[in-house]
A and B are shown apart, each in its own frame.
Chain A
Amino acid sequence: MNEMSAGLRDLRIALVGNPNCGKTALFNTLTGSRQRVANYPGVTVERKEGGFLTPAGRRVRILDLPGTYSLRARSPDEVVTRDVVLGQQAGVEPPELLVCVADATNLRLALRLVLELKRAGRPMLVALNMFDIARHREIEVDAGRLSAELGLPVVTTVAVRRGGTAALLEAIDAQASPEPGTAVWEAPDAAGLRALQREADRILAAVVRVPDRRDAVTRRLDAVLLHPVAGLVILLVVLFLMFQAVFAWAQPAMDLIDGGFQALGAAVGALLPEEGAAGLLRSFLQDGLIAGVGSVLVFLPQILVLFLFILLLEDFGYMARAAFLMDRIMGGAGLHGRAFIPLLSSFACAIPGIMSTRVIDSRRDRLATILVAPLMTCSARIPVYTLIIGAFVPDRPVGEGAWSWVGLQGLVMFGLYAAGILSALGMSFVFKRLLWRGQPTEPFMLELPDYKLPRLRNLALGLWQRAKAFLRRAGTIILSMMVVIWFLSSVPRPPEGADRPAIEYSLAYGIGQAVEPLLRPIGFNWQIGVALIPGMAAREVAVASLGTVYAVQDAEEDAAQLGQALAGKWSLATALAFLAWYVFAPQCVATLSVIRRETGGRRWMWFSFAYMLTLAYLAAFATFQAARALGAG
């Protein structure tokens, strides 16, 4: 070890700043892929932690804190930021250095936060980020003067460029091991806030020269994207394109994965005999393990395309605009305008959706959003929808000429998504009336950031994290459920010379027979009953379970041919009822447990389970009976 690094202790730092100032981009550039996403103990606020080495060899651990305008925390997210900053967060060692990230093109609110943080007496330095954009827009910031005014080290950074953090790294190296000391902070009152902002404005006038206050690109884009009518139309088109892309773009990759697993299953099947104990092993590997994992993994491409859109829109700065455009419509349903973003994320998965409701300050508004978020069509329902639509809806255009590019299958899918959205809005309206007797929603206030070109690197890192989370899920909950369902449908084995299909001797058959009377009014057969049970763990397992049940039942049929098998075995009414059931289906243990954690108790978890189960049953019942009455039975 050389002399320099010998004197440098390890350092814990945390990034704080306003929303959209580039904290996450800075975090990604500093840590590369050495990062970990977990939760703070007891709350589901995402804890992004990483590590890196400075040029001088100092080891630094870094936290990316949720964005905030003040330490006067109002949402669970901001509470975490405040507690970490003040060194009061359980399970987190207080950071030894705060890196206060400020958007150099939008310094006014950032400077007020810096002044507030400085009052709290934490060791800190200021990173003037987005310096490239500031320079491009000819916004001159005198960093030296700012440093003198604040009495803090100030560096300039470009978070999205590889060399853009050099000055920051240097400043971190120059930082003598700071003593965190005790934090003193008291929530400022209105007069205090005014005084801080006045001081910030005074400093701003001294250090910044701005030729043109507004970003020209943002101004031109907003003229269209926030246009009262055109803006709404464009938002609808964006959402529609997103869902078309999920199906069109993902198909080749899905075919590849599907083919791969089929080949693997066939290879394993060829190695082992069909009879005896080895036959049981063969069935387990082929029908249980490989078919099960394959039937879930095949949806990875669709989930990634969906997340790609969400990440793109977020990085671009469009998400806040979408919330703006949707505010009144959401408000009509009793939801907060900010609920739009969590609900949109719930299209990917209700878990991140529910977690992102923490940007909503009021507990009631938050709860309403949490309760309806699982009604948004999450990607786990895609396998179910795809299977049934593929089997029962003809693959042809909706119409001729101008309509020939809209597929009928895509349209049905869109309809299912629309049903999810409408029921979410409807239910929140009902909750608002019944549970909270029309108490007002909290004011909608949101900063609209300037548009930015999304960065490949941030997108790639974001997608990689989602993919990892999905694979972990597929590898744990889903895989174990698949093993259970295979076991139930294969044990006990049929006796020698059995004349009925093997499955009719299994435990699953017994279970299916037991629940079947309950399900008959909604058109479900016992195989569906069996599939619904492991589907409790995760919705997409229902498809794999159906596959296993039918594969074990008719040994000659491949689970991958499930769609064709169903088309022969189910009536159209049953298929439609199954789709209707899955618009509401409450079966997802992970979502329920996140609801429990987020709402701080079992009460709301059971409530949401019960109301969704009721809706699912009623919807399937109505659909089945109506379809039968119309002759689709």
Chain B
Amino acid sequence: MSFVTDAVLADPAQAEAVLDLGAAPRGFRGRIRGLRAFASGGLPAEELERRLLELGFVEGAEVELLHQGLFGRDPIAIRVDSATIALRRREAAAVLVEPAP
């Protein structure tokens, strides 16, 4: 768990507005507040966090949920700055975002 996330979640006023990207609807726009990685798909939490970071999911980055699949609205395509990344909602849940005003 990253220190940024801890700080975000500790502040109730901020935690209000924060949701995880895995739950976001299509068309959602927002900014990454932190990562809260967990073990997923056989990867330890720490490894999932690093993979997300390598694809640009870093605090402060702007995101937009562009597309979603037919079955269970999965996977999703996320615009992160200049790149478009496809991933499943399950792993996207590790990315905490606040909606753009």
Contacts and interface: CB of A to CB of B under 8 A. Distances in A.
Contacts of A227: 67
Contacts of B56: 108-109, 112, 197
Contacts of A213: 79, 81-82
A448 B90 CA distance: 19
Interface string A211-244: 0011000000010001111001000000000000
B70 A446 contact: no
Q: How large is the interface on B (under 10, 10 to 19, 20 to 34, 35 or more residues)?
A: 35 or more
Contacts of B58: 193-194, 197-198, 201
B42 A362 contact: yes
Given A193-B50, A442-B41, A228 B69 contact: yes
A210 B82 contact: yes
Contacts of A229: 70
Given A72-B54, A190-B53, A324 B86 contact: yes
B47 to A, nearest CB: 9
Contacts of B51: 443, 445
Given A72-B54, A193-B53, A214-B79, A444 B66 contact: no
Interface string A179-221: 0000000000110011001100100000000100110000000
Most buried by B among A227, A329, A439, A447: A447
B88 A194 contact: no
B46 A190 contact: yes
B77 A226 contact: yes
Contact of B74 (A327, A442, A447): A327
B25 interface: no
Nearest to B51: A445
Contact of A443 (B66, B83, B87): B87
Interface in A101-132: 105-109, 112
A232 B71 CA distance: 11
B75 interface: yes
Chain B: interface secondary structure?
mixed
Contacts, number: 129
A440 interface: yes
Q: How large is the interface on A (under 10, 10 to 19, 20 to 34, 35 or more residues)?
A: 35 or more
B69 A324 contact: yes
Contact of A194 (B41, B48, B59): B59
A320 interface: yes
Contacts of B13: none
Given A70-B54, A109-B56, A222 B82 contact: no
A334 interface: no
Interface in A327-384: 327-329, 337, 362, 364
A445 B82 contact: no
B59 to A, nearest CB: 7
Nearest to A362: B42
Contacts of B53: 190, 193-194, 197
B85 interface: yes
A618 to B, nearest CB: 31
B69 A328 contact: yes
Contact of B50 (A108, A190, A323): A190
Given A324-B69, A440-B41, A446 B74 contact: no
A320 B86 contact: yes
B40 interface: yes
B77 A69 contact: no
B66 A445 contact: no
B60 A443 contact: no
A324 to B, nearest CB: 5
A129 to B, nearest CB: 14
Contacts of B61: 201
A386 interface: no
A595 interface: no
B2 interface: yes
A107 B87 CA distance: 20
Contacts of A440: 40-42
Contacts of B67: 222, 226-228, 324
Interface string B58-101: 11110000111111111101011111111110110000000000
A485 interface: no
A89 interface: no
A439 B70 contact: no
16 contacts: A69-B55, A72-B50, A72-B54, A109-B83, A190-B46, A213-B81, A324-B69, A324-B86, A325-B69, A327-B74, A329-B71, A443-B87, A444-B91, A446-B87, A447-B83, A448-B77
